[in-house]
């Protein structure tokens, strides 16, 4: 009756965790590389929020100032009635 454990879900989706290897950069990033990576991560984060919310996220939602767990999804097709 209970759901699968987190480790079981991980194994089911990605296979054995021993085949996944995490490598960290040995060299420090230059300020321009850091800025570029930060900008890319911000765009990706906003894109994920857009997918979750079904609309463009507001600045407060992106910054985490507004709780998105209670946000309502805006219907992207206003002329379609889904009832």
Q: Does a structural domain hold residue 27? A: no
Q: Does a structural domain hold residue 18? A: no
pLDDT the model gives residue 1: 47
Compute φ and ψ for 25, nearest 5 degrees: -65, 140
Q: Does a structural domain hold residue 26? A: no
pLDDT the model gives residue 14: 73
> What is the rounded CA–CA span in Å between residue 36 and residue 30?
10
For 1-16, how does the pLDDT look when each residue is reduced to its tens digit (9 = 90+)? 467 787 787 777 777 7
Q: Does a structural domain hold residue 78? A: no
For 28-79, how does the pLDDT look when each residue is reduced to its tens digit (9 = 90+)? 889 999 899 899 999 999 999 898 888 899 999 888 898 887 766 555 555 5
Number of structural domains the chain divides into: 1
Q: Does a structural domain hold residue 52? A: yes
- Residue range of the domain that includes 52: 32-70
Does pTM top 0.85 for this prediction? no
């Amino acid at each position: 009756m209970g759901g699968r454990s987190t480790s079981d879900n991980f194994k089911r989706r990605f296979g054995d965790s021993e085949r996944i290897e995490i490598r960290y950069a040995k060299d420090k990033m230059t300020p321009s590389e850091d800025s570029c990576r930060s900008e890319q991560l911000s765009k990706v984060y906003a894109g994920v929020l857009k997918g979750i919310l079904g609309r463009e996220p507001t600045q407060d939602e992106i910054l985490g100032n507004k709780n998105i767990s209670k946000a309502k999804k805006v219907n992207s097709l206003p002329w379609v009635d889904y009832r």
